[in-house]
Structure 1
Amino acid sequence: MLTSVTFATDAGQERTLSVGMGQALAGDRQTQLTAIVGSCIAVVLWHPRMNLGAMAHVVLPDSHGKSETPGKFADTAVPHLVRMLESKGCNRSGLTAKLAGGACMFRGDGPLQIGDDNIAACRTHLRQMGIPIAAEDLGGTSGRKVTMDFATGRFTIEIAGKVARVL
């Protein structure tokens, strides 16, 4: 499981990295991070002045004390992303968040509405850490492909059969 800070190293070469379920990756202005989410949440923290950021692919709202995969749970992913970026010189006060996902993938009412729980948990933990949410595309019944470009701050949301949106 990749949880270390990953940054592009070759000047002038852009890298696109996929963030899998439970993973957390960071990047610089030469990096784009992408994830495919349904009920999961792509949580992105971005420092616009430094063009540095990180993304976690949050699967569940609460770790219940498990710490081996911090990107997997909202309560551990948000502080983990902050630590990753602070280790590269980002000041928490300069960070903003972008969120996507949290779809209701199992249509109907019932106990499997994890998307709503993930949305609430991510918002709560960002608020507790004092990080404002700059953009979000949450809920609904469709999965999304999300791409964050740390050079421009463009957060692109793609849903099958719809026009891509940039937040």
Structure 2
Amino acid sequence: MTTVSKISTHFLYPSHLFVGSQHTEVTTVLGSCISVCLYDTVRKIGAINHFMLPFWNGQGLASVKYGNIATEKLIKEMLRHNCRVENIIAKVFGGANQVEFTARIGDRNAEVAHDILKEHGIRVVAKSVGGKVGRKIIFDTESGVVKMRYVGSQKKTP
């Protein structure tokens, strides 16, 4: 008799994170937002966030809407699940600059994610950031595999 494991699904909204100790496929759609996918290669646990802005300015609630808060909290959640930093790998997606203006939120979001991962000694093994179009990703928390496709269209300028 063959046992088939049931795969749960979860849609990750902006300003949220998800840690999966059970087999879950987490889907999210990114524009200028970033998702950091963390995966413990030994414990087979994955975690993902979806943040909108690079830094919390110290006013109001320090939420996972902000990259510095979201990425630190994601790492802490992995450690809370008995993961070890040396076993964690990262994949980073999003950060499109879809609107032409000087703030370049997508670039800044990608930078904060990379800086915090580097600070914690977490190796980035895959990334797809920047550009002008969004991305849809599906993250498998049991295998660490991320499927990605571009969404939207690139407008050609005359």
The two structures have a TM-score, normalised by structure 2, of 0.87
- Which one has more relative contact order, counting CA pairs under 8 Å at least 6 apart? 2
2:50 to 33, 57, 64: 57
May I ask how many residue pairs the two structures share in their alignment? 150
Aligned to 1:60, the other structure's residue is in SS state coil
Aligned to 1:125, the other structure's residue is in SS state helix
1:160 to 151, 155, 158: 151
- Distance (whole Å) between structure 1 residues aligned to residue 71 and residue 16 of structure 2: 12
Note if contact 1:103-1:116 (Cα within 8 Å) is conserved in structure 2: yes
| 2:156 equivalent in structure 1 | none
Q: Which runs of 5+ in 1 are unaligned?
A: 1-10, 163-167
Matched, 1:94 2:93: no
1:46 to 19, 39, 52: 39
2:102 to 97, 111, 129: 111
- Distance (whole Å) between structure 1 residues aligned to residue 9 and residue 72 of structure 2: 24
| 1:82 equivalent in structure 2 | 75
Q: 1:13 to 1:130 in 2, by over 3 A?
A: same
Note if contact 1:41-1:57 (Cα within 8 Å) is conserved in structure 2: yes
- Distance (whole Å) between structure 1 residues aligned to residue 136 and residue 124 of structure 2: 19
Larger Rg: 1 or 2? 2
Aligned to 1:158, the other structure's residue is in SS state strand
- Show the 5 A alignment for 1:2-17: 12-17=5-10
Query: Which amino acid is the alignment partner of residue 108 of structure 2?
Result: D
Matched, 1:71 2:61: no
Q: Which runs of 5+ in 2 are unaligned?
A: 154-158
The two structures have a TM-score, normalised by structure 1, of 0.82
